[in-house]
Copies of this chain bind each other. A is one copy, B any other.
Amino acid sequence: MFSKACEYGIKASIYIALNSYDGQRVSLKEIAKEINSPEAFTAKILQDLVRNKIINSVKGAYGGFEIEKENISSIKLAQIVNAIDGDSIYHGCGLGLDVCDANHPCPVHDQFIAIRNELKHMLETTNLEQLAIDIKSGASFLKI
């Protein structure tokens, strides 16, 4: 469904959010360990999220990544996915046609539109706070 980059990006964002609630800045090394992702590759993805102003980074000793507390509840999965995978999820045709719309639909256009809209709605309504709370309570997990 999503690229590896996007999977790591979502998990990393949740982990950063979780710690930002406690005022804890987290390092790349810690993030990669906690979400079970390759460190250097995760670094690239985090850079991407920083450039898209979804997370903040602080260089140097005692640096790391953080999200401003007041933003955590307003950051939606859609923003993260969009920053990393782009908007292909919203615009691409299920069968790869260059042009696929109501006037010139691919054979599965209607079926796909329905499912894609649900996916879109889910991504646009799910925020980091909800996800971080479940990790904190042990109701969900970031690795294994």
Question: With an 8 A cutoff between CB atoms, is A31 at the interface?
Answer: no
- A80-106 vs B, CB cutoff 8 Å, 1 = contact: the mask equals 000000000000101111110000111
- A115-142 vs B, CB cutoff 8 Å, 1 = contact: the mask equals 1101100100010000100110001111
| Contact residues on A (Cβ < 8 Å of other chain), bracket | 35 or more
Q: How far is the CB of A35 from chain B (nearest CB, A)?
A: 9
Contact yes or no, B122 A14, CB < 8 A: no
For A2, A4, A108, the residue with the greatest tally of chain B CB atoms inside 10 Å of its CB is A108
Residues of A within 8 A of B (CB): 1-2, 4, 7, 10-11, 14, 77, 92, 94-99, 104-109, 111-112, 114-116, 118-119, 122, 126, 131, 134-135, 139-144
